[in-house]
């Protein structure tokens, strides 16, 4: 199965519609453990018009969402554990925004599952533009058991 097929299957397990997905492709996947992916900020996203006019940049909360979506893809791809229905971002810790992301840039995302407790998942995530780290966060995702 190709990386695009794995991504598509995993994305179908997430509760987001296509218009609110911030993950274009997987570049690496260790199912249930870790993954890397990318999101291209095309520049035509409607939210960029207002954040900020004349100097658009990706809102930090959407960087967190992109990281959470990658963590969800990693978690939902675990061959040992069935996908959790309704998996959603439930908590954040230690979130640091370390740089800005602008139209035309590719956000490289990394996520590692650090713990599983029934329907709760802990993950560590980072985002980069080129070699510059722009996000660091600890995430908790929750599904229904």
What the chain holds in terms of domains, given with CATH numbers, is 3-142 (3.10.129.10)
Catalytic one among 25, 42, 49, 51? 51
* pLDDT digit string (tens) for the chain, length 145 residues: 666 776 677 677 677 888 899 999 899 999 999 999 999 999 999 999 999 999 999 999 999 999 999 999 999 999 999 989 889 999 999 999 999 999 999 999 999 999 999 999 999 999 999 999 999 999 999 998 6
Helices (H), the chain: 3-12, 60-76
For the chain, where are the E strands, in sequence order?
25-30, 34-40, 88-97, 106-117, 120-129, 132-142
Assess whether 16 carries a catalytic annotation.
Answer: no
* CA dist list (Å): 112 to 39, 42, 50, 57: 17, 26, 32, 26
User: What is the reported pTM?
Assistant: 0.93
């Amino acid at each position: 199965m190709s990386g695009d097929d794995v991504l598509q299957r995993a994305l179908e397990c997430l509760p987001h519609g296509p218009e609110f997905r911030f993950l274009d492709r997987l570049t690496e996947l260790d199912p249930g453990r870790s993954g890397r992916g990318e999101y291209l900020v095309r520049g035509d996203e409607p939210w960029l018009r207002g954040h900020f006019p004349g100097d658009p940049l990706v809102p930090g909360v959407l960087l967190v969402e992109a990281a959470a979506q990658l963590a969800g893809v990693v978690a939902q791809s675990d061959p040992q554990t069935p996908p959790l229905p309704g998996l959603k971002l439930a908590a954040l810790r230690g979130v640091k925004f370390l740089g800005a992301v602008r139209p035309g840039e590719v956000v490289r995302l990394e996520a590692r599952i650090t713990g599983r407790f029934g329907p709760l998942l802990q993950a560590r995530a980072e985002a980069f533009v080129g070699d510059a780290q722009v996000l660091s966060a600890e995430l908790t995702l929750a599904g229904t058991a």
